[in-house]
Amino acid sequence: MTISFAGKVAVVTGAGNGLGRSHALELAKRGAKVVVNDLGGARDGSGASSEASQDVVRLIEDMGGEAISHGANVANFDEVQDMIQQAMEKWGRIDILINNAGILRDKSFSKMTIDDFKLVMDVHVMGSVNCTKAVWDIMREQNYGRIVMTTSSSGMYGNFGQSNYGAAKMAVLGLMNTLVLEGAKNNIHINALAPTAGTRMTEDLMPAEIVKAFAPEAVTAGMLTLCDEDAPSRFILCAGAGGYASASIFETEGCFIPQTEQSPEAVRENWHELTAQDNQAELASGAKQGEKFVMKAMAFMKSQQH
């Protein structure tokens, strides 16, 4: 069945270049009205220009679609609110938010300044928080919303020289996990995309022919499955160069050590059972971990009564 976004309004941040541009154009091709957000800075976050986002708007209008551009800095909540207000005045609803805007300030942790760390956290984490907060009540009132966070293998698995970026990209998954629970009753689905693409951020790191294989379009095809009406919720989709995979956090079944026997030595002795993966599971919420441990304690107490 063809995935369509007819009648839907989408906000795409960082949509002047690379992945965001690809996302915005494809959403528009499939019928969405699009807010093309881009501060127009360099990839380290410096400077600002509305040229790139206006080019994307022109491309969308040339193919018969509707779009507006907005230069909000996603790290500034007032600017983000102004962007959302303009979209509401023009179209009266917001169905989709793609949190894509990002910057890089790569350096090993020992050489990185605290300012470089904070700035990357501000754009990726607070940028996603600000945009999501600005659309949250609108989506709740509509009883419909689709939000995509942009995470990264650098966050999930680590990448040398990217402690700031990795921390930020893991943080948006924590944000997603809780918002999934809070948005469920209002039909708000939130997913995460972990892209590997040849964009401005990575183009000078790979040979040209490899960059071509990592075209943003391959990632966008995956992204569109995370924000349509039939989208899952709380799904981490990894995509790049034609490859697609899902990532999940699993927890082992674990072991139980009675209160009278608790010591670091006992924990170490039970390491094999504690790490055994045969009954590992994805937990639906943080409370489920607590429930599991309480059940283990209760089962032990019961066994002592007989």
Domain boundaries, the chain: 9-247, 259-305
Closest CA to 194 of 215, 167, 173: 173
Pairing of strands 96-98, 145-150: parallel
Q: Domain 9-247 - what CATH class?
A: alpha beta
CA distances from 297 to 70, 250, 259, 263, 288 (A): 55, 21, 9, 16, 14
pTM of the model: 0.93
Q: Give the Cα separation of 51 and 68 in Å (integer).
A: 13
The yes-or-no verdict on residue 48 having pLDDT over 70 is no
Average pLDDT, whole number, for the chain? 93
CA–CA–CA angle 225, 86, 103 (5° rounding): 55
The yes-or-no verdict on residue 199 having pLDDT over 70 is no
CA distances from 99 to 2, 78, 102, 304 (A): 24, 17, 9, 52
- pLDDT-derived band at 46 (thresholds 50, 70, 90) equals low
Q: What is the pLDDT of residues 79-125, one digit of tens each?
A: 999 999 999 999 999 999 999 999 999 999 999 999 999 999 999 99
- pLDDT at position 50: 77
Which residues participate in catalysis according to the annotation?
165
CA distances from 125 to 53, 55, 86, 99, 129 (A): 22, 27, 23, 10, 6
CB atoms within 10 A of CB 244: 13
**Cβ-contact 121, 156 below 8 angstroms:** no
Tokens 């970026």 belong to which residue? Answer: 165
Residues in a beta bridge with 236: 192, 247
- pLDDT at position 230: 98
CA–CA–CA angle 47, 150, 163 (5° rounding): 70
- pLDDT at position 305: 86
